[in-house]
Structure 1
Amino acid sequence: LTVLSPQSNLNFLLISLPPPGAGMANSTATAVKVMGAPGPAGRSSPEGSQVLSKKKLQDLVREIDPNEQLDEDVEEMLLQIADDFIESVVTAACQLARHRKSNSLEVKDVQLHLERQWNMWIPGYGSDEIRPFKKACTTEAHKQRMALIRKTTKK
C-alpha cells in the first residue's frame, strides 16, 4: 500500500498490511518506511529515512527561541522520539484499518487514533461536525448545593 502525502515534503509512505483474511495477530504494519530523496549514488540519505531532519528540528527551535541551541544528544533523542511516535501512530492506524476489514489505510484511521489516544485534533482533516462535549458528572454534594440555592432564591 502506498499512501501519497501531498501536503508535506515526503515522497511517500510505504505501509504493508497483511491480507484481509489474516487474523488480528498479524494486524500491525509489517513495514513502515519514509522514503527520502535519493542522495549521492542514488541511495537514500540517513536523514531521508527520518520524518524530522536535524535541520527542520533546528528551524523549529529557532522559531521558538532564536538564541537557543540544542545539544547533539538532545537533537538525537528528539529525532528518535519523533520517529517512534510516527511508527506507533501508523501501527495503531493500521490496526484500525484491519479492524474495518480494509487493506488500505485512510486518514480517518490516523485521526481516530490521535483523537482517542493522544487527544490531538488535526485542523483541516476533521469533519465539519462539532466535537462532542463531555458533560461532567454532577456529584451529590453539587446537587445539594444547587437545591439549597434554588430554595433560597424562591423566598
Structure 2
Amino acid sequence: MAQQEGVVGKKKLQDLAAEVCPRQLLDEDTEELLMQLADDFIDSVVTSSCQLAAHRKSSTLEASDLQLHLERSWNINIPGFSNSDASRQQKKALPTEAHKQRVALIKKSKR
C-alpha cells in the first residue's frame, strides 16, 4: 500500500530536521508522527478559519480568518500580518476616579 504524502513530505521534514540539528536523523516512526501532526494542525486551522469566514457570512476564506484563529487558539503571530487594528486590540480599561474611591472605601471598611 502506497503511503500518501501529506502537507509536509519526508524530504522536507528531513531538511527541516537537518537545519535544527545536522547530526540527528529521524527514524521512520518519528517522521510519520510529525507528518501526521502537521496534517492535523493544517486541517484544524483551515476548518476553524472556514468557520470564522462563515460567521462573517462570507464564502471566501481570507488571511484575517487564518490570522485570528492562529493568534487566539495557538498564540501564533504572523510577521507582516499582525493585527494592528485598534478596534480589535483588547486594552484594559483604566479605572475611573469614582471607582478608585469606592475601592478605597471598601478597603478601609475591611480594616
Per the normalisation by structure 2, the TM-score is 0.71
**Does residue 1:119 correspond to 2:75, yes or no?**
yes
**Does residue 1:46 correspond to 2:4, yes or no?**
yes
The aligned counterpart of 1:92 is 48
Q: Deviations over 1:79-137 (max 9, x none)?
A: 000000000000000000000000010000000000000000011222455895866xx
Larger RCO, structure (CA 8 Å, separation 6 or more): 1
The aligned runs of 1:1-150 (5 Å cut-off) are: 46-47=4-5, 50-128=6-84, 132=89
Q: Give the secondary-structure state (helix, strand or coil) at the position aligned to 1:91.
A: helix
Q: Deviations over 1:22-78 (max 9, x none)?
A: xxxxxxxxxxxxxxxxxxxxxxx932xx21111011001100111000110010000
In structure 2, runs of 5+ residues without a counterpart are: 93-111
Letter in 2 for 1:104: T
In structure 1, runs of 5+ residues without a counterpart are: 1-44, 136-155
Separation in 2, partners of 1:94, 1:129 = 21
The Cα RMSD (Å) is 2.2
Per the normalisation by structure 1, the TM-score is 0.52
Separation in 1, partners of 2:43, 2:84 = 28
| Identity value in percent | 60
The structure with the largest helix share of the pair is 2
Stretches (4+) displaced over 3 A: 127-135
